[in-house]
Amino acid sequence: MTRCSLLSLLPALLPMLLAGCAAGPEYKKPALDMPAAWQTDSPWRLSAPKDDAAKGPWWQRFGDPQLDALEEKALANSPTLALASARRAQAEAVLAGASAGLYPQAALGVRDARARISANRPLNNNSTPQFTTTQSDYTVVLTASYEADLSGRVQRTIEGAKASAEQSRADFENIRLLLTADLATAYFNLRALDIELDVLARSLGLQRRSLALAAARHDLGATSGLDVAQQQALLDSTLTQVDLLQRQRAQFEHATATLTGTPAPSFALAAQVKTLTPPAVPIGVPSDVLERRPDVASAERAMAVANAQVGVASAAFYPSIFLGASFGDESRMLSSLFSTPSYIWSLGVSVAQTLFDGGRISAGVDSTRANYDATVASYRRVVLTAMQEAEDGISGAAALERAHIQAQTAVRSATRVLDLATDRYEGGLATSLDVIIAEQGLLNSERLAAQILGQRLLTSVFLIKALGGDGS
């Protein structure tokens, strides 16, 4: 077949070349066996999310203006979130670059050269002598090229870039969720310690009062020095616990500073004791987790990326076909550059097919298939972990609510015991040891109640994070 006849077939071959076929398997999301409902226990109250309700930032459920301000500051200043945002923008740019493969590429080339040709260069014809020549070469050429996606390589590349961009968006949302949850965790740990420190402060007041009473009775000769020593020992022990709790509070304060993008030395949160109540969290059904948790979405998109990579690797088995054309002018004189005799053009097709590579392409396909299998296993693992975390949060919230009710009852009972012991000691009917035991019992009960409240707040944050926040 002559060159002219090959070029004449291009109009007929072009639709076939453009249609092509996508190499590799079509992506299908793996089916998962999801439970129909969570295991709930009293006093948990099951509720379903309202899809038509406004879904603001989840931390506003706690009704704490200071937490709201800190969360907004973290979202604005966190370098971790800024990094995730940059990665997301990068993935979007990669998608835009991959999508450009759908279109022809055009370029304009201009050349202005002057060259001297050697007289001693190899002969073109034995009967024709060579001469030294110095001349100019002016060229203006417009070129266009297009890759016919016969194997679907470009299509799979775009699919992979699109899935990668979607994954980066899910990663951004996941980092945002983790950032806000970590900040709320540090904040509620700090506030729980404020409550616990307030308990110790009130206990110190009672213990100093008991120490003064024991010292007065000792001065009157009513008791021995043992009573004074025992009360002093209890006071010293409580003061030691205050120092330890202050150290823990400082660590959570520093963590809060870092999460909000503030240097720790220039950040401070004043102590504040206030009533904190964990909010009601709508848990819906287990399948909601697959739609709301950004880490699950990211793992699912990773499978789509890996599947597209299988197609890209499989496309290497097919020939690469490029269409090219150029049109322009070339002349040794600038005045005749755009004249008819100076016109130049070309039109052609290039086809390349690998015949032997020692198994390199097959190995590449096997590698991408193994990577896809790994992403499937990772996706299933992420889903199972999500189910575990949500179930832990649900059962933990119910158990802690019951424990908190019992702890409040224990505080009331310990207060009554201390009142009785103090009255009996002041009346000479009990020893200082009875008062010390009662004071220690009240202190332990109040600290336990404060710790359980803190755990309830943290569990609420953990559950909201496990359910994927408030959705979007």
CATH number at residue 395: 1.20.1600.10
Instruction: Kindly list the distances between the CA atom of residue 123 and the CA atoms of 116, 131, 435, in Å, as whole numbers in the listed order.
Output: 16, 10, 118
For 226-280, write each residue's pLDDT tens digit. Answer: 878 988 898 899 899 999 999 999 999 999 999 999 999 999 999 988 878 888 7
Indicate if 132 and 197 belong to the same structural domain.
no
Rounded to an integer, the average pLDDT of 394-421 is 89
Domain interval for residue 246: 3-103+150-318+357-466
**CB-CB contact of 363 with 272 (8 Å):** no
CATH code (residue 325):
2.20.200.10
Rounded to an integer, what distance in angstroms lies between the CA atom of residue 287 and that of residue 127?
86
Same structural domain, 82 and 26? yes
For residue 130 the two structure tokens come to 């060579």
Residues 441 and 309 in one domain: yes
Helix or strand (DSSP H, E) at 350: strand 343-352
Q: What is the pLDDT of residue 18?
A: 46
pLDDT number for residue 406: 92
Same domain, 123 and 203: no
Q: How many CB atoms are closer than 10 A to CB 221?
A: 7
Return the pLDDT at 73.
94
Residues 75 and 60 sit within 8 Å (Cβ to Cβ): no
Angle at Cα 203 formed by Cα 200 and Cα 209, nearest 5°?
A: 145
Q: In the predicted model, is pLDDT for residue 10 greater than 50?
A: no
Q: Does one domain contain both 250 and 174? A: yes
pLDDT computed for residue 147 by the predictor: 87
Average pLDDT, the chain: 84
76 and 174 share a domain?
yes
β-pairing, 105-117 with 133-148?
antiparallel
**Tokens 């007065």, located at residue:** 216
Of 28-42, 132-146, 151-165, 284-298, where does mean pLDDT reach its minimum?
28-42
- The predicted structure's pLDDT at residue 38: 63
Confidence band for 168, pLDDT divided at 50, 70 and 90: very high
pLDDT in tens, 315-334: 888 888 889 999 999 888 88
Both tokens of 114, joined, read 């002057």
Domains held by the chain: number: 2
**Structure confidence by residue, pLDDT tens digits, 446-465:** 889 888 988 999 898 988 88
| Same-domain status, 363 and 238 | yes
Residues 213, 303, single domain; the answer is yes
At residue 45, does pLDDT exceed 60?
Answer: no
* Cα 275 off chain centre by: 32
User: Contact 328/140 with Cβ under 8 angstroms?
Assistant: yes
Tens of pLDDT, residue by residue over 366-381, are 999 999 999 999 999 9
Return the ∠ at Cα 439 (arms to 434 and 442), rounded to 5°: 125
| Residue 332 located in a structural domain | yes
Q: How far apart, in whole angstroms, are the C-alpha atoms of residue 121 and residue 330? A: 23
**Euclidean distance between CA atoms 290 and 450, whole angstroms:** 35
Are 338 and 380 part of one and the same domain? Answer: no
Could you tell me if residue 471 is inside a domain? Answer: no
Q: What is the pLDDT of residue 208?
A: 87
Average the pLDDT over 351-379 and give the result. 91
